[in-house]
Amino acid sequence: MKLETFATLAAVIEEGSFAAAAATMHLTPSAVSMQMKQLEQYLGQPLFDRSGLQVRPNALAREVAAAMEGGLRHLNALRRRASVAVEGTVRLGVIESMQPVLLPGTLRYLRERYPRLTVKPVRGRSAGLIEMVKAAQLDAAVVARPESGRLASLRWYPVATRELQLIAPPGSRGESAADLLARYDWIRYDKATVTGAMAARHVHGLLPDKRSAMEFDSVTAIVAMVSAGLGVSVVQLMDPTVIDRYPVRRIRLGPDAPVLLMSLVLRKADEDNRLLQALREAVTATLGVG
């Protein structure tokens, strides 16, 4: 049983719910639920009362958390002692749209807290970076998580979500996404990417026969084209400062809007690697996960 599972149990008891514990532990609520079920299987006894509307820890849960509390605190202290140096190099893949949002803060955090840890960033598309992590050509990557595929050998840590939006030229006519797509050319985001596939599926759900006039693999380039009045597009604005340079209208896509899940991905075999744990700490601190 992994030590982090006991830390998650303590967070559930302290915060009062799986959702609140998930925010504290930088996990998804489903991941917290899975960890708690695994711990119950390990102990052979239930840890929660699930009879009401809200899951409540029972006496055994509190006893287990109390038994582990001192040991976990001591282990964390040992890991953070100055004498336990975090030293080495991490090869980190980052998709282009995340670089200005992620890298400055992450590298500054690591320089201040882990000065002997070096990060070598590598730019690429999500699919390519994921394959490089699988092949051990990268240690980790920050990517858009695919909606399907062979992902079982990898560990995924959600770091950001972005709802896709339609962007239109300043002063354009039309209030809804369907109206604007009908009036203007569609500037398509690269269909080979996770974002591009999600955007295209939404566009074709609104206008099945809509064809793209142009296609780019850069959000900045698309925003610039839309700002110049050359069409509309469905994109994620991971770096919101781009619209300061290239003003556009932003239109929400409603309750069915595609949502992009950005994740830090690494190999399951490496999830206890101290260098990668320090990297994850820096990434979550930079992006304010939870």
Domain boundary among 47, 81, 115: 81
| pLDDT tens digits along 60-82 | 999 998 888 888 777 776 665 54
Query: Which residues of the chain are modeled with pLDDT < 70?
Result: 77-84, 148-152, 289-290
**CATH classification at residue 277:** 3.40.190.10
221 and 199, same structural domain?
Answer: yes
Measured CA to CA, the distance from residue 150 to residue 127 in angstroms comes to 11
pLDDT of residue 83: 47
**Cα Rg for the chain, rounded, in angstroms?**
22
List the end-to-end C-alpha distance of the chain, in Å, as a whole number.
Answer: 24
* Domain encompassing residue 233: 165-257
Quick one: pLDDT at residue 133?
A: 94
Q: Looking at the structure, tell me whether residues 247 and 169 fall in a common domain.
A: yes
Same domain? For 169 and 252 the reply is: yes
Residue 23 sits in a domain whose CATH number is 1.10.10.10
138 and 282 share one domain: yes
Residues 267 and 156 in one domain: yes
Q: What is the pLDDT of residue 84?
A: 55
Residues 10 and 149 grouped into a single domain: no
Q: Tell me: the pLDDT tens digits for 85-94?
A: 788 999 999 9
Number of domains in the chain: 3
Instruction: Give the pLDDT of residue 152.
Output: 67
Residues 172 and 211 grouped into a single domain? yes
Quick one: pLDDT at residue 75?
76
What integer pLDDT is reported at residue 149 of this predicted model?
A: 59
171 and 238 housed in the same domain = yes
Residue 81: its pLDDT value, please?
58
What pLDDT is attached to residue 79?
A: 63
Angle 21-281-151 (CA atoms, 0-180°, nearest 5)?
Answer: 80
pTM for this predicted structure: 0.64
Question: What does the alpha-carbon distance between residue 33 and residue 41 come to, in Å, rounded to a whole number?
Answer: 12
DSSP calls for the chain: --HHHHHHHHHHHHHSSHHHHHHHHT--HHHHHHHHHHHHHHHTS--EE-SSSS-EE-HHHHHHHHHHHHHHHHHHHHHHSTTS---EEEEEEE-GGGHHHHHHHHHHHHHHH-TTEEEEEEE--HHHHHHHHHTTS-SEEEEEPPSSSS-TTEEEEEEEEEE-EEEE-TT---SSHHHHHHHS-EEEE-TTSHHHHHHHHHHHHH-TT--EEEEES-HHHHHHHHHTTS-BEEE--SSTTHHHHS--EEE---TT--EEEEEEEEEGGGTT-HHHHHHHHHHHHHHT--
